[in-house]
Amino acid sequence: MKTITYFTLIFVLLLSFCKEKATDKENKEAGIEKKPDLILENAWIKETPMDQMNSAAFLNIENNSNNPIKLLSVESDISETVELHETIYENEVMKMQMVENIVIPPKSVLELKPGSLHVMFINIKRDLKEGENISLALNFETIGKKSVMAKVKKHESMMQHEHHNH
Ligand SMILES: [Cu+2]
């Protein structure tokens, strides 16, 4: 009976030790890096057919912090104007409209994608060819400017709209 109690105590001690190890403070002391607060992933730009003046960029913005992160604007030299847009559906008709900023809630990933939020390039200065890499600068409130490389890809936009569930 005494032996069982002894082993139980060891087990409980081991459990609490493991729990302690997993804290951020311990990880920092042990040199284990936690995930960055802001991660920009899968950035891509729609290839522009010859006659098109506009294009759009999409990416995933991951907020691992405990506070909301606000995207204020995007800069690029590929077009005269860069805006933040959302796609809305009004009486079954798809429309785009400008938004002041895009907020990424704490501990979440926001997906900028076709038919939803996107970065809009207005009056493209040159043709964008598939496979090209374009540098974009994203301006975040308090964090500042973050750069990301976006790959130019083909996108069947009409197909997407037909298959949309809304
Ligand atoms: Cu747009």
Give every CB contact of residue 136 below 8 A, 6+ residues apart in sequence. 43, 57, 74, 75, 76, 119, 147, 148, 149, 150
DSSP 65: S
Per-residue pLDDT tens over the stretch 148-161: 999 999 976 544 44
Question: How far is the C-alpha of 142 from the C-alpha of 148, rounded, in Å?
Answer: 18
- Contact predicate 130/154, CB 8 Å: yes
**Interval between CA 107 and ligand 1 midpoint (Å):** 27
Residue 35: predicted pLDDT: 87
**Interval between CA 36 and ligand 1 midpoint (Å):** 29
For the entire predicted model, the pTM comes to 0.75
- At 130, is the pLDDT very low, low, confident or very high (cuts 50, 70, 90)? very high
**Interval between CA 11 and ligand 1 midpoint (Å):** 58
Pick the CATH number of 38-162 from 3.60.10.10, 2.60.40.1890, 1.10.3720.10, 1.10.10.10: 2.60.40.1890
**Interval between CA 67 and ligand 1 midpoint (Å):** 27
Per-residue pLDDT tens over the stretch 74-118: 999 999 999 999 999 999 999 999 999 999 999 999 999 999 999
- At 162, is the pLDDT very low, low, confident or very high (cuts 50, 70, 90)? very low
Neighbour count for residue 44 (Cβ, 10 Å): 18
Residue 1's SS3 state is coil
Neighbour count for residue 93 (Cβ, 10 Å): 7
